[in-house]
Structure 1
Amino acid sequence: MNGLTEAKLRSLAGARSFERGRDYTDAVSGVEFDEDRITAFVHGTERYEVELVLGGTRGPVGECDCPYGQEGNFCKHLVALGLAVLARKADVPRLRKEARDRKRGLDGWLSGLTREDLLTLVREEMAEAPGLRRRLELRAASARGDLAGIRSRVRELLDIGPFARYGYVEYADAHAYAGQAGQAVSAIRSLTASGRAADAIVLTREAIESLIRVVENVDDSDGSLESVGADLADAHHDACRAAAPDPDELAHWLVSHTLRDACELTDIDPLDYADLLGEPGMAALRRYAVEAWQANRTGWAEKYLMERLAKSGRDIDTVIAVHAADLAPNGHSHLLIARELDTAGRTAEALEWAERGVRETEDPATVDTALVDHLAECYTRTGRLADAVTLRRDHFAARRSLLTYQQLRAAAQAADRWPAERETALTLLRADGDRVLIDILLDDKDIDAAWQAATACGAHDGQWLTLADHSRPARPADALAVYLRLAARLAPQTGNATYEALVSLLLNIRDCHHHLGTPDDFTTYITTLRATHKRKRNLMRLMDDHGL
């Protein structure tokens, strides 16, 4: 059966869902076979509809409308159906043939009915199935051009009332609501297909408004409602393509919608309408965008729209004006402008903006580090090595860290000015008494100075460990003192991660005793440690593994 086996079901579902699915095999009902499709109901906390598709090169795939299945998982209900089918494996060929025969029989019977009999049948089915009745009502309203009727029905389909408990659609009901909302999209598309695209534009926009009003009251964790929004966006674009609305009116709506807080629900991009707007419409689009931006120059949506429109028209000066109207206090906006100008080949202006960004940052400690990097790279590229050193020195003075020190060192070495710069930098750090001095001296491989700084300023355990690791061959006694202190803190603790860290220290302690020529002292230390912590079996085992 195209790869349907217990092993395959376990692989698809995972061991936990597979075992839970075994308990649901008796809850499977209404199994129906098609060529490569098997559907059924599985009764759990609710009745779930499940479907297995057996065709395909990768074996069976499935869908279930339970919450776990809606997230794309092969759930326990699908396992239950698969196991139920496997239990009837010998009957499957016969059941498929019977399904084909039933389908042919139904088609033949329907074809033989008179018009009156078909109408009677459809009316009877509509009375039994309200969902079918509503779908056919929409089709009928579309066929006769009943815009008011379609509008009313679309509003009903987008109403969260029937799904909302206490005014909110919870996760368990969101998928069903999104499915109903999807019917509204289909109804709108039918208008476009029947030559009423202008009406479809109106209804699409009304539907988008309705969806925006309710989206905050729906738990759309699985993105079902977002998919409906995307479908509405596509329906709007298709209707506009068919109806060719007034370019100015379309441009105004696109800008207004794009600047709304909930515009991400549809993710409509005004530039996707460029061919429909034409030159007059694009001009109107830019005009409305500029008006909106001038009214709110610091608005993120307004700035983003202006920037995109300017870039699409290769209007670099407008891009700069947008950023310049709302300069960030840390120089980030200056960096964006400098990059745009560099891309446009206007390097002198780019450099001026970058320098201005550094200069105008009120607190040098908060300057955008990417701006400093950009400007330093510009200086280096143009041979202004002294300026690069000055920039890096000022940045280090404002923000004293290992990274800014390393950047200063690289710039100063390139300018052949490192010894003097290093002494100035270390003088600042010693005056601060900051532990970053230890990291910097370690990075410089100045181990003796790092020991002095750690002794004078104090160091955290990680720094002491690094110092000991670097110093073990040359200063084994100092390193040993560090390792013993750290090991004494770890020894009372438990846990495999602690044991691994302790064993690493013990190996270093042994190495120190080797350098000092005191192996007997180490033997005594280890013997005492083992006696004290012999109940920690994992620690003892790990020590055995390392010959301790």
Structure 2
Amino acid sequence: MTHALGFTEEDLRRLAGARSFERGLGYLPAVSRLDIGDAVITATVDGTDAYEVELTEGEDGGLTGWCDCPYGQEGNFCKHCVAVGLTVLGQAESVPQQRSAAASRTRLLDTWLESRTREELLGLVQEQLAGDRDLRRRLELRAATAGEDTGIVRERILSLLDTRPFARYGYVEYADARAYGQQAAEAVTALRALTATGRAAEAVEVAREALRVLGRTYGEIDDSDGLIGDVATGLAEAHLKACRTGRPDQAETAEWLVGHLLHDLNDATDMDLFDYREVLGEPGLARARELVVAAWRANPKGWAEKLLMERLLKADGGSVDALVAVHAADLAPNGHTHLVIARELEAAGRAAEALEWAERGLREAVSDWGPDDELVTFVCERYAGAGRLADAAAVRRKLLWTRPSLAAYQHLRTAARAADAWERIERDGALEVLKAAAQPDNGRWYGGSALVDALMDDADLEAAWQAASDGYADQRQWLALADRIRDQRPADALTVYLRWIEPLRKQTGDSVYERMAELLLSARACHHTLGTEAEFATYLTALRVDQKRKRKLMATLDQHGL
């Protein structure tokens, strides 16, 4: 079924960004060999080289673009993609007809191929094989899987997973990951074919080796698009399917599976022991439990051992106390493990013990690491639910002293207000903590201070202005404060805007010019409130004369009516 376009010029601008979009306009005449299919659009764009572009419209209306230019291979929606997209939009009215014509050509080709004799089709295939090594390799593998020589199949599958031809610097970069992923996907197809042709036992062994090979190299591949992860998942599924069909030895399968799950090689596949419940049967599961428990006891702090033991206990309906023991063997320094334990206990209806573990997490958290924010929230919510509002405020106060920040101040304010103790007891001390944590330097203090942010968050603008004047504010805070006081204290705000315009005179770039225009508009608003528009006009004229060689700046000011 054909359909109209699902994207607009604004979509292209959003995907590419302003710079690439504008550059794409200049490549409209360079678009050739445009082919508009039902969901995929392909074309060639002549630039430094002849680049192949592919635009794909998703079922949800989203648009993705791929181009083999260097910028496109980094995953960007490049200027060549923009040019193709704009070219298609320029002929949007004819798109349904073009898609209908493409479908007709496909049907015509199918009909023609169906009418060829076996010899003619064989000749066409051999002609393609002579010029396409990748196609030849894929078909050789399919031929091998249909034959009897498993050794050849194994060799071809492992060669498909070999990253060396794609690793130019010992690493498969993003630009090469797509091609590698397409090749590696053939290994999954071959494994499935082995099982389908009655050689499931061989498929199990080859799949294990393929998983080991991909697991070793997965960390050396830029898999930003997840293509290689899909291959890894496919290999794991092919292995499970082969096991279900071939019924390998249950105890031996359990030993291999647990060993794989405990090894870093499983990072690529994320296999689950209990997906194999049917394959292992009770004898295999018993062996797996024995191995998992032994591994955890030998290394209770091991991440994989701990995760597998936890999974085993949950799947088997083990006791909460046993699960707590697994977690308690390796407590995170930020208290997060205490929180995990608390949640398990609370889910089991043991709320008092849960709170004890959470409180212990607060006490034992190492200052450089914690306490974990979620742990703090857990404790404070339980205190509040029990009416212990002062205790909740005390937790928040201690956290502010330990790690002064705007967020800590806000949390303490909320808790103290609930306890009716903010203005009377907590606020002055909290502000002193923030003040003591900052290091003023006559307005040159970089990064600002939580003190100024907190005062602005309280809408105490007079105190915020004083703190800024005492050296506790950076540029961001000065400008934010100026915006807040502009209507009531336009002269003070104007001083801030003019101060930050000056250094921009010596800088260049589109973002600089936009920032200068924003500040000038704010300055003009102050002059308007003060009734000194003529003074602003004189200032702006002088600035334009001083900056007249910056043509882009002049254009930016014109666009903003300055």
Normalised by the length of structure 1, the TM-score is: 0.72
* Partners of 1:472 and 1:39 in 2: CA distance: 54
Any idea what the Cα deviations from partners look like across 1:422-443, whole Å, max 9, x if unmatched? Answer: 3444455566676544444444
* Partners of 1:99 and 1:69 in 2: CA distance: 32
Shift of 1:382: 0.7
Determine the structure 1 residue equivalent to 2:426: 421
Contact 1:255 1:270 (C-alpha < 8 Å) held by counterparts: yes
Contact 2:333 2:369 (C-alpha < 8 Å) held by counterparts: no
Write the mapping of 1:416-455 to structure 2, written as runs, cut at 5 A: 416-418=420-422, 419-426=424-431, 428=433, 436-450=450-464, 453-454=467-468
Of 454-463 and 93-102, more deviation after overlay is shown by 93-102
Write the mapping of 1:2-21 to structure 2, written as runs, cut at 5 A: none
Write the mapping of 1:263-278 to structure 2, written as runs, cut at 5 A: 263-278=266-281
Contact 1:185 1:235 (C-alpha < 8 Å) held by counterparts: yes
Determine the structure 2 residue equivalent to 1:294: 297
Partner SS, residue 487 of structure 1 = helix
Shift of 1:177: 4.8
* Partners of 2:285 and 2:55 in 1: CA distance: 49
* Partners of 1:378 and 1:462 in 2: CA distance: 37
Distance 1:538 1:285, change over 3 A: same
1:374 and 2:398 correspond: no
Shift of 1:237: 0.9
Determine the structure 1 residue equivalent to 2:365: 361
* Partners of 1:130 and 1:231 in 2: CA distance: 24
1:244 is aligned, of 240, 243, 247, to 247
* Partners of 1:530 and 1:372 in 2: CA distance: 53
Distance 1:18 1:226, change over 3 A: farther
Distance 1:190 1:354, change over 3 A: same
Determine the structure 1 residue equivalent to 2:536: 526
1:499 and 2:517 correspond: yes
Q: Which amino acid aligns with 1:234?
A: E
2:499 is aligned, of 443, 468, 489, to 489
Of 243-252 and 182-191, more deviation after overlay is shown by 182-191
Q: Which amino acid aligns with 1:351?
A: L
Write the mapping of 1:1-400 to structure 2, written as runs, cut at 5 A: 23=30, 25=32, 99=109, 102-106=112-116, 109-110=117-118, 142=145, 145-160=148-163, 175=178, 177-215=180-218, 223-315=226-318, 316-363=320-367, 366-400=370-404
Determine the structure 2 residue equivalent to 1:403: 407
Contact 2:253 2:280 (C-alpha < 8 Å) held by counterparts: yes
Of 414-423 and 178-187, more deviation after overlay is shown by 178-187
* Partners of 2:461 and 2:128 in 1: CA distance: 88
Determine the structure 1 residue equivalent to 2:446: none
Determine the structure 2 residue equivalent to 1:516: none
Partner SS, residue 533 of structure 1 = helix
Q: Which amino acid aligns with 1:150?
A: V
* Partners of 1:530 and 1:121 in 2: CA distance: 74
* Partners of 1:2 and 1:239 in 2: CA distance: 39
Of 152-161 and 324-333, more deviation after overlay is shown by 152-161
Contact 2:204 2:239 (C-alpha < 8 Å) held by counterparts: yes
Distance 1:217 1:425, change over 3 A: closer
Any idea what the Cα deviations from partners look like across 1:63-119, whole Å, max 9, x if unmatched? Answer: 99999699798969999x999x99x9999999778746633431xx33xx8xxx999
Determine the structure 1 residue equivalent to 2:510: none
Contact 1:534 1:540 (C-alpha < 8 Å) held by counterparts: no
Normalised by the length of structure 2, the TM-score is: 0.70
Q: Which amino acid aligns with 1:385?
A: L
Shift of 1:204: 1.0
* Partners of 2:40 and 2:377 in 1: CA distance: 60
1:508 and 2:526 correspond: yes
Tell me how many residue pairs correspond in the alignment.
Answer: 517
* Partners of 2:55 and 2:451 in 1: CA distance: 65
* Partners of 2:82 and 2:74 in 1: CA distance: 13
Query: Which of the pair has more CA radius of gyration?
Result: 1
Distance 1:35 1:195, change over 3 A: same
Shift of 1:15: 9.6
Q: Which amino acid aligns with 1:420?
A: I
Any idea what the Cα deviations from partners look like across 1:170-229, whole Å, max 9, x if unmatched? Answer: 666655554444444333323312322122101111222233344456665655444332
Any idea what the Cα deviations from partners look like across 1:307-358, whole Å, max 9, x if unmatched? Answer: 3333334443343223222212222221222222222322111100111111
Contact 1:503 1:542 (C-alpha < 8 Å) held by counterparts: no
* Partners of 1:154 and 1:540 in 2: CA distance: 62
* Partners of 1:541 and 1:123 in 2: CA distance: 65
2:416 is aligned, of 408, 412, 421, to 412
Contact 1:310 1:319 (C-alpha < 8 Å) held by counterparts: yes
Shift of 1:43: 11
Distance 1:157 1:48, change over 3 A: farther
Of 400-409 and 136-145, more deviation after overlay is shown by 136-145
Partner SS, residue 363 of structure 1 = coil
Partner SS, residue 262 of structure 1 = helix
Partner SS, residue 241 of structure 1 = helix
Any idea what the Cα deviations from partners look like across 1:148-168, whole Å, max 9, x if unmatched? Answer: 343344344444566666766
Q: Which amino acid aligns with 1:404?
A: A
Percent of aligned pairs sharing the same letter? 43
Shift of 1:239: 0.5
* Partners of 1:353 and 1:445 in 2: CA distance: 38
Partner SS, residue 367 of structure 1 = coil
